[in-house]
Amino acid sequence: MSTTYDVIILGGGVAGMTSAIYAARANLRVLILDENACGGLVNWTKVIENMPSYTSIGGMELVERIQEQVEALGVDIEEAACIDSIDLTGEEKIIEADDTIYKAKAVILATGRKPIPLEVAGECENVHFCAICDGAAYKGKKVLVVGGGNSGFDESIALLDQGIEELLLVEKMNRFFAAQSTQDELTSHANATILHSTEVTAVSCDEKLESVTLRNVATNETIEYPCDGIFVFMGQQPGTAIFQEQLSLDSDGYIETDELMATSLAGVFAAGDVRPKKYRQITTAMADGTVAALEAERYIRSLAG
Amino acid sequence: MSGITPIPTEHIDNFFASLSDAILFFHKELCPHCKNMEKVLDKFSAKTPSVEIFSIDGEAYPELLSKLSFERVPTLAFVRNGTVVKVKTGLMNPRELKALYSSL
């Protein structure tokens, strides 16, 4: 595999792969580098029903189809890449990964976001971020789910499907944010309880989890809730620490761009969830990826004079 | 899981006794961490072809998970000369996997 490209895309989620499709079809030499498998958060989505083209499709299946399209266009993909250093400041962009130095004329940053941890939980072994991966261990037991968005409700239903005996979902805000149909589905389970205006203030965990302390943020009342496991779905935060010395980030750590996905550095573009934006959907990630690739192409052509 | 060979039944039947240097990858079909771990194992395998790597669907063989005292996936069981010498649960990157394998 060559190590010199027109465009290197960091992150193989939907935004990154859409960028790759556009860049490859513009006859640019393209590499996708991802620290994990391609697909990003879409891999965590059980069913997708809001994307034109499929009435309903599993997240992993959608990723597989997009990746097949990307590979058919001749894009090089390096998954499970250990990225050591990035220098985006020069005209030539340099990325060191897996002891290999990659160079490109332009870079598109599409590294997405990662789950926000439950800080009070420390190193407790019984704190999880994936119901499918870890839910079976809690069959017949009590679990707490933290987060009242779509993920919290969807994963709660997945936990109950695996035989959880009792489930409590808490949300810090004064309402839930999941789709009403999903809320209705969870509340139809007799062994599920949901509480808004409630936060976790402490976790009692020695060798294993014993209980959590919950505080009602409106009344300040606290209760002790004995449980065996905690599943955390409090949203996401951008993984931009590696860029922070080189790029302009906003106060939450997202990469600032203009409407054409240009960052504060020439030849560096950002797309998808790593940007500050109101709506983080597959379709908006595709839109970002499209614009970023078209602008990267335009930038590279301008270098050629 | 597509990239790694499912473990043949004979290895399960004799509880891995016939394996000399192998990694057994316990996963579940829709587990996103498992998908990531599969890529890590692909990379490890390309650099360490002498190690046999097999996948085991944890939902199809729950008794094996129980026998090896774990319930979560992804989990790797490292086998040397017919004996499970290490069981490790959770996602690792290729360097962490290489270091763990080398330490056994």
CB–CB contact B32 A79 (8 Å): no
pLDDT at res. B7 = 93
Nearest CB among A58, A82, A136 relative to B71 is that of A136
Please give the Cα distance from A83 to A103 (Å, whole number): 13
CA A133 and chain centroid, separation: 17
Q: Is A133 considered catalytic here?
A: yes
Chain A residues in contact with B30 by the CB 8 A cut-off are 46, 58, 60, 132
Over residues A95-124, the pLDDT tens digits come to 999 989 999 999 999 999 988 989 887 778
Over residues A240-271, the pLDDT tens digits come to 989 989 999 999 999 999 999 999 999 999 99
Q: Is A134 considered catalytic here?
A: yes
* Interface mutation vs chain A, best among B29, B36, B75, most A CBs within 10 Å: B36
Which two tokens mark A56? 């309903």
- CA atoms within a 13 Å half-sphere pointing along the CA-CB vector of B65: 22
B residues 43-82 closer than 8 Å to A (CB): 43, 62, 71-74
A147 has a chain B CB within 8 A of its CB: no
Give me the helices (H) in chain A, please: 14-25, 59-72, 131-134, 150-161, 180-187, 282-303
Tell me the β-bridge partners of B52: B22
A175 neighbors A208 (Cβ within 8 angstroms): no
Nearest CB among B33, B38, B40 relative to A130 is that of B33
B26 neighbors B65 (Cβ within 8 angstroms): yes
Chain A residues in contact with B40 by the CB 8 A cut-off are 80
A82 has a chain B CB within 8 A of its CB: yes
pTM exceeds cut of 0.90: no
Please give the Cα distance from B24 to B47 (Å, whole number): 17
Among A44-48, A233-237, B56-60, B81-85, where is mean pLDDT lowest?
A44-48
Over residues A6-15, the pLDDT tens digits come to 999 999 999 9
pLDDT at res. A305 = 66
Q: Is A130 considered catalytic here?
A: yes
Q: Which helix (H) or strand (E) holds A232?
A: strand A229-232
Over residues B4-54, the pLDDT tens digits come to 999 999 999 899 999 999 999 999 988 999 999 999 999 999 999 999 999
Characterize A213-233 residue by residue with b for buried, 16 or more Cβ atoms within 10 angstroms of its Cβ, and e for exposed: ebbeeeeeeeeeeebbbbbbb
A36 to chain B: closest CA residue: B36
User: pLDDT over 90 for what percent of chain A?
Assistant: 83
